[in-house]
Structure 1
Amino acid sequence: MIKTAALACLLTVLAGCGGPGPTKRNGTDTATAGQPASTAPTAPATTDPTRIPGLGDRWQRRIPADSRQVLAVYGESRNSARSTVALYTKQGSTRESTWDRTRAWPAHNGRKGWTPDHREGDKRSPVGVFTLSDAGGVLPDPGARLPYTRSAAFAAPRWWAKSYWHDFDYVIAIDYNRVKGTPPNDQTRPGGYAKGGGIWLHMDHGSGTSACVSLSRPAMRYLLRTLDPDRHPVVVMGDRADLKS
C-alpha cells in the first residue's frame, strides 16, 4: 500500500510537467532540441529601455517593483508549443532604470499552447507573472543561487519514452498554485487540484510539454547559476499577442 501511494504521488507531480503525451508530433510542437543561444529567435524590439520588450502596460505593471531579474517567455502563438525565453536584468535604481537583455534561448511550452485559465491536464501553459523561488533536480546542485533540492524522486519514470528521461535533471519551480519555499515537487496546491500545478522550467526533450517551459541543458545550468533570490526573479509568460495587450 505504501509503495502504491508513493507511485501515485510521483505520477501526480510529473503530470504537471513534460511527461509524454501522444507519440504523434506535428508542426506546432517540434523543434530542434539544444539549439544554440546564438541562433535563438530575437525578442521583440523596443525603443524604451526602461520597459521589458513586447509587454503591454498591464503586464509591465504586474512586475514587482523590487524585481531586478525578469525571465520573459514569448510564446510563438496561442496554440503553438514553440517559444523564446529571454533573461532581462535591471540596471540602476531610479525611475529611469533600464532593462538589459542578458541571454535568450529557444524553448517549448505546453503542447497545445497557452491559456489565461490553466486547468489540470489541459496541456496549455498558464499565462501570467509568477515568482521563481525554488529549484531542484536529479543531478547535483550546479551552483544554484535559488534553494536547490536534489532528489531521485524527480526522475521521470523509465516507462516514458527515452527522450523524456532527463527532463527533470534540473528544474526551477514556477510559483503557480504552489507554496513558495518548498521543493519543486511538493504537492501542496493552495488553489485546489483542478487549477493544476507542478509548473516548472525544466530540460527540453525537443517538443511541447504538458504545461511547463523547457530549455536546453546549458540554458538551465546558466539560469540556475544566475537567478538570484536577492534580485527577486519573476517569469512573465504567454503568447506574444497576449503579452502585448
Structure 2
Amino acid sequence: MSLPRRALFGLGALVLAGCAPSGHPASAPAISAAAPAAVPSTTTAARPAPPELPRQLPGVGPRMLAAVPAEARQVLVVTGDGPEATTGHAVLYRDDGAGWLARPSSPTRNGGHGWSADHREGDLRSPVGVFGLSDAGGRLPNPGTRLPYDRTDTFTIGGTGLMGEPLAGSFDYVVAIDYNRVPGNSPLDTRRPRGGRFGGGIWLHADHGGPTHGCVALPLERMRDLLLALDPALHPVVVMGDAQSLAG
C-alpha cells in the first residue's frame, strides 16, 4: 500500500494562506523588490517499494515443487500440523508473474490417522502429493464457480463422523481432488484408474467438526470462497501433506 504524499509549502504558500512565517512579527520589513522570489518546493516523499512476493511456494520443498505442473498458476497448499495430526491450514496462491500472491489462510481438517504418501482404501489417512482440482459439485446451488459444477441432492449425507459429530451439510460444496479419479467428471464418479485398493473419492468439502476419512475439510464459507476463486484457466492444483512431507 503506498503512503500519502506530504506536500511541502514554501514562503509563497504561506503568504497566499494569509499567515506570517513562524518567528517573524507581522510588522517585519517587506522583502526587497530586488531580492529573488521564493519558489515553492515541488519535492515529494519517495514511494516505498511494494513488498516482494515469494518466488517459491512457502513451505514447499524442491521435491514437491518439482511435481507442480509448469502451467499451474493457482496452487492450494494444504499443510497438516504433523504426520499423525488431523488439523492444519490451507492457503491459495496465485502466480501473478512477480511471485506467488497469497489469499487468507483457512483452518483445515484431514484424515483421522493423519497423512500418508501411500494412501490405501480405508486407512483413514489423507494422501500426500500434488493433484489437480478440475471438478466441483454439491447439494447447494452453484455459487458462481468457473469449475464444472454438479448440483444434485445425491450430495446429501447423514449419520455421524469419527468423533460422533453430525455429518449433515458436509457435502454442501465439494471440489474433487484428482487422486485416483478420472478428471472431467462429477466428483460422484466412482471410477478408480489405479484400482480400488488405492482408495478414491478424496474431496475438499465443508468441515463437520471432526477428522475425515481422507478428505480435506474447510469451513463452509471458506469452501464457497474457494469455489469462487478457482479458475480452470489457471490450471489449479492442490499441494497437500504434513509440513515435514511438503518441505522435503
Give the TM-score range, shorter chain.
Answer: 0.7 to 0.9
Secondary structure of the structure 2 residue equivalent to 1:141: coil
How many Å apart are 1:103 and its aligned residue? 2.0
Secondary structure of the structure 1 residue equivalent to 2:95: strand
Counterpart for residue 149 of structure 2: 148
1:223 aligned onto 2:214: no
Secondary structure of the structure 2 residue equivalent to 1:198: coil
Q: Which moved more, 1:160-169 or 1:111-120?
A: 160-169
Secondary structure of the structure 1 residue equivalent to 2:197: helix
Secondary structure of the structure 1 residue equivalent to 2:57: coil
Partners in 1 of 2:142 and 2:117 — Cα distance? 33
How many Å apart are 1:154 and its aligned residue? 1.2
The TM-score with structure 1 as length reference comes to 0.77
Out of 206, 209, 223, the residue aligned to residue 209 of structure 2 is 206
Counterpart for residue 99 of structure 2: 98
Return the structure number with greater relative CO, CA threshold 8 A, min gap 6. 1
Secondary structure of the structure 2 residue equivalent to 1:88: strand
Taking the TM superposition and a 5 Å limit, the aligned residue runs for 1:42-57 are: 49-57=54-62
The TM-score with structure 2 as length reference comes to 0.76
Counterpart for residue 4 of structure 1: none
Partners in 2 of 1:120 and 1:157 — Cα distance? 21
Secondary structure of the structure 1 residue equivalent to 2:205: strand
How many Å apart are 1:212 and its aligned residue? 0.2
Taking the TM superposition and a 5 Å limit, the aligned residue runs for 1:1-245 are: 49-92=54-97, 97-158=98-159, 163-245=166-248
Q: Max radius of gyration: which structure?
A: 2
Kindly provide the amino acid, as one letter, of the partner of residue 81 in structure 2.
E
How many Å apart are 1:159 and its aligned residue? 7.1
The share of aligned pairs that are identical, in percent, is 50
Secondary structure of the structure 1 residue equivalent to 2:200: coil
Counterpart for residue 13 of structure 1: none
How many Å apart are 1:61 and its aligned residue? 1.2
How many Å apart are 1:63 and its aligned residue? 0.9
Could you list the runs of 5+ residues in structure 2 that have no partner in the other structure? 1-51
How many Å apart are 1:204 and its aligned residue? 0.1
Counterpart for residue 42 of structure 1: none
Q: How many residues get paired?
A: 195
How many Å apart are 1:162 and its aligned residue? 6.4
Q: CA RMSD in A?
A: 1.4
How many Å apart are 1:158 and its aligned residue? 4.9
